[in-house]
Amino acid sequence: MELNKQNIKKILGIIAAAIIMYVGLQNSSSVINLFYSFFSLLAPFIVGICIAFVLNVPMRFIERHLFYHGKSKTSQEGKEKKIREKIARPISILVTILLVLLLLVIIIFMVAPELGRTFWTMIDTIQNFVNGEQATWLDKLTEHFPKIEEALKDLKIDWRMVGNNIVNFVKEGFGGALDSTVKLVGSIVNQVINFFLGLVFAIYILLSKETLTLQGKQLLYSFFKEERADHMIGVFRLINKTFSNFLSGQCLDATILGLMFFIAMTLFKFPYAPLLSVFIGFTALIPVFGSFIGCIVAVFMLLMVSPMKAIWFLVMFLILQQLEETFVYPNIVGKSVSLPAIWTFGAVILGGSMMGIIGMLLFIPGTSVIYSIMNGIMEKRLKDRAISPEKWKKQMDFLYPAEEATNKRKFLKRNKHKEK
């Protein structure tokens, strides 16, 4: 390799990167703490970006359908259009936030009373069940083993020692519990503050998203080549489209599934219909496995009321889930991400193992973006290399070499003639 100025810069860059990586690995705990502190400082901004991305979907729908209905034909209509453009964004943001708050209030007021009644009913049922089973078990135990009852009567307990141990345990535990409570309260307050700061930041992002988009494009074109900048902008557009479609599709699918369960449970007079339908719809936001989590909780709650109703609910769940996966999910979420089922399943497993529920929600559209980009790259490379589709479209030619495939076809034809 020729040691010119450009190559020397590359070598120095590689050496510097290797040194930084070595120092980072030797002080990994300090590096992790540094990154944690850095992301803690950026938490309100990250939360704000996420809130803005979520609110942008309904805000864009409201803005498009309430304020933009066509082209203006007269000067008066042109003036009205300018006024609409000035007030469209603030009103759309306000309406979106109010709709989200209204939805939360409706869910809380519909679910909270039912949840309270269910909670106390379950406590009474479990208590009666445990007391009855415990009394029966003790009677049978003392009946079969009478010596146990005599041993319990002769058992001597030093209650003063027991009392001292309890007092010491309470003293030690109270200090630890108080410290944990203070930390928990501080963490909750910090999260609440970050959320509200993020909400304010999200509103600013939504109010000036066109300006921010323009500045981002200027930044890319000023630091990268035009072709590379065009490619990066195309990728960002694909990410925005895929994530927006997935988010709206997942919410619509969860709403439809919740309504299906509410109607079915009301018709067949299942208990806790509003609570369980809302809970199943909420858990259905988790891709693939979410509705099954709701099913387990629902079966457990119905089991406390009637085992037969729990069984019939399980049958109803399997039927509705099959209908939803066959007709609803492919037409709503499937078309929004354009991702085969096997890749969706893999994205859910990988995202769940790495980041939990948030990972499941992020990895499906993220995998869809990577899948689309790789498809584009493969098509371009195949076209540049002038490889005919006949090479990879036919399964016979893919499984066998050319001569073996020809022999295989001749063999199949001979067998057909013999059968005739």
pLDDT at 395 over 60: no
**Alpha-carbon distances, residue 46 vs 42, 43, 202, 350 (angstroms):** 6, 5, 10, 23
pLDDT of residue 178: 58
pLDDT band of 293, cuts 50, 70, 90: confident
Tokens of 238: 């694909």
Residue for token digits 């559209």? 365
Alpha-carbon distance of 253 to 281, in angstroms, equals: 8
pLDDT of residue 169: 62
pLDDT of residue 254: 86
Instruction: Tell me what the mean pLDDT of segment 356-384 comes to.
Output: 81
Q: Which of 5-14, 57-66, 158-167 has the lowest mean pLDDT?
A: 158-167
pLDDT of residue 251: 84
DSSP symbols for 81-95: HHHHHHHHHHHHHHH
Alpha-carbon distance of 143 to 154, in angstroms, equals: 18
Alpha-carbon distance of 335 to 338, in angstroms, equals: 5
pLDDT at 56 over 50: yes
pLDDT of residue 398: 47
pLDDT band of 146, cuts 50, 70, 90: low
Alpha-carbon distance of 94 to 58, in angstroms, equals: 11
- CA geometry: angle 99, 104, 110, nearest 5 deg: 125
Element (H, E) at 17: helix 5-26
pLDDT, one tens digit per residue, over 95-116 is: 888 988 888 887 777 666 766 6
**Alpha-carbon distances, residue 391 vs 196, 373, 383, 399, 406 (angstroms):** 57, 22, 13, 11, 14
Instruction: Tell me what the mean pLDDT of segment 16-44 comes to.
Output: 78
pLDDT of residue 177: 55
Amino acid at 187: S
Tell me if 95 sits within 8 A of 62, measured CB to CB. Answer: yes
pLDDT at 314 over 70: yes
Alpha-carbon distance of 150 to 380, in angstroms, equals: 87
pLDDT, one tens digit per residue, over 376-392 is: 888 888 888 777 777 76
Percent share of the chain, pLDDT over 90: 2
- CA geometry: angle 236, 242, 247, nearest 5 deg: 125
Instruction: Tell me what the mean pLDDT of segment 348-365 comes to.
Output: 77
The mean pLDDT of the chain is 75
For residue 284, report the phi and psi dihedrals to the nearest 5 degrees: -70, -10
Q: Which of 174-183, 215-224, 269-278, 393-402 has the lowest mean pLDDT?
A: 393-402
Instruction: Tell me what the mean pLDDT of segment 42-70 comes to.
Output: 81
pLDDT of residue 36: 75
pLDDT band of 172, cuts 50, 70, 90: low
pLDDT of residue 171: 58
Tokens of 217: 């494009």
Is the C-alpha dihedral spanning 299, 345, 367, 17 positive or negative?
A: positive
pLDDT at 397 over 50: no
Tell me if 216 sits within 8 A of 240, measured CB to CB. Answer: no
Write the Ramachandran bin of 358: left for phi over 0, alpha for psi from -120 to 50, otherwise beta.
alpha
Alpha-carbon distance of 21 to 148, in angstroms, equals: 67
pLDDT at 318 over 60: yes
Tell me if 270 sits within 8 A of 320, measured CB to CB. Answer: no
